[in-house]
């Protein structure tokens, strides 16, 4: 396992980050614990969850697994806040001081830990001033309840604004951004990647497999497989046209030449991109984890990157994932 600098913090994290969105939901507690143990045994030391995943159940399952294996102190543990946690309470979501402090305490209880290494704002919320959000996060850092501050799916200008405000107010600043990034949507390369390089931010992309599309399980003119994420989401909000399938064609061709799976090639591509620290893998099964780990052995040549660039155009998208400019909500 290769370890990389986590932005400007001095912390070292594994090339792959284990995402826990499936744990406690589609993946039951027993299987989730087995996947976590196997990932840690393979050298992964970076684990990402969120309070909104199965309304806290993912955090409970992750916490139970780390208590059982006794490896909490070796893990860089990340969680997120913003999503709606109560259908009847108008203050049970967002980026307000009230919600952040309340939910940090709840996440600590569910995770069974005294601190969260990386606490991330799951989505931007223009209705809440960024200084209120940053002051609350700074208080949590100073109290020792969180170690570092991160964002997820923020636009580049929102990240820069937060850095400016933190400097003006003397607050702890963001050290990490978690954007969607894959061969179907490369728009973070326009502004967010240069921002990360300029300000020393770690980038930990979510959905490097484009919701499973880059595994090859979705085919032209066919219904979504019954066990796929998009089938479980009743189609989600994305459609895949000919441009997306053209990308998949090349991914499958290169993967065949290298003797790896399309998903391994897609994850390896993401991990090799400028400014990327650790792509987040989100296995639902042990077989998916084992396949994802195989990406660590895939090496791409300059010719491979060039072939992919001809269909997955740099800075462009053939399917929409990066919607930060619209300030979406995770609720």
Q: Which residues are annotated as catalytic?
A: 53
Please say whether the beta carbons of 305 and 270 come within 8 A: no
At 157, which helix (H) or strand (E)?
helix 156-169
Within 13 Å and on the Cβ side, how many CA atoms surround 198? 10
Structure tokens at 104: 């940090």
Interacting residues of 320 by C-beta distance below 8 A, sequence separation 6+: 185, 238
At residue 297, φ and ψ (nearest 5 deg) are -100, 0
258, 296, 304, 306 from 301: Cα distances, Å: 11, 15, 5, 9
18, 264, 315, 318 from 304: Cα distances, Å: 26, 14, 18, 19
At residue 128, φ and ψ (nearest 5 deg) are -105, 120
Please say whether the beta carbons of 207 and 322 come within 8 A: no
Q: How far apart are CA 231 and CA 237, in angstroms?
A: 11
Structure tokens at 262: 């399309």
End-to-end C-alpha distance for the chain, whole angstroms: 35
Structure tokens at 257: 């030449």
């Amino acid at each position: 396992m290769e370890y990389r600098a986590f932005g400007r913090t001095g912390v070292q994290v594994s090339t792959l980050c284990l995402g826990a969105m499936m744990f406690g939901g589609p993946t039951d507690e027993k299987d989730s614990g087995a996947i976590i143990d196997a990932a840690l045994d393979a050298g992964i030391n970076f684990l990402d969850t969120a309070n909104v995943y199965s309304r806290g159940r993912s955090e409970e399952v992750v916490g139970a697994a780390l208590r059982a294996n006794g490896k909490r102190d070796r893990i860089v543990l990340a969680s997120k806040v913003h999503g709606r946690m109560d259908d009847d309470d108008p203050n049970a979501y967002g980026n307000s001081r009230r919600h952040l402090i309340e939910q940090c305490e709840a996440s600590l209880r569910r995770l069974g830990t005294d601190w969260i290494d990386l606490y991330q704002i799951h989505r931007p919320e223009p209705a809440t001033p960024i200084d209120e959000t940053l002051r609350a996060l700074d208080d949590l850092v100073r109290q020792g309840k969180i170690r570092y501050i991160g964002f997820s799916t923020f636009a580049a200008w929102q990240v820069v604004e937060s850095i400016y405000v933190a400097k003006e107010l003397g607050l702890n600043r963001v050290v990490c951004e978690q954007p969607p990034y894959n061969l179907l949507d490369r728009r973070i390369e326009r502004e967010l990647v240069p921002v990360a390089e300029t300000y020393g931010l770690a980038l930990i992309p979510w959905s490097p497999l484009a919701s499973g599309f880059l595994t090859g399980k979705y085919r032209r003119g066919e219904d979504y497989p019954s066990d796929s994420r998009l089938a479980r989401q009743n189609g989600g909000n994305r459609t895949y046209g000919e441009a997306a399938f053209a990308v998949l064609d090349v991914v499958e061709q290169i993967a065949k030449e290298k003797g790896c799976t399309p998903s391994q090639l897609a994850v390896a591509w993401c991990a090799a991109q400028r400014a990327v620290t650790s792509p987040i893998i989100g296995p639902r099964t042990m077989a998916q984890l084992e396949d994802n780990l195989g990406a660590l052995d895939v090496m791409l040549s300059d010719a491979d990157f060039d072939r992919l660039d001809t269909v997955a155009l740099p800075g462009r998208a053939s399917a929409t994932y990066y919607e930060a400019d619209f300030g979406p909500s995770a609720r």
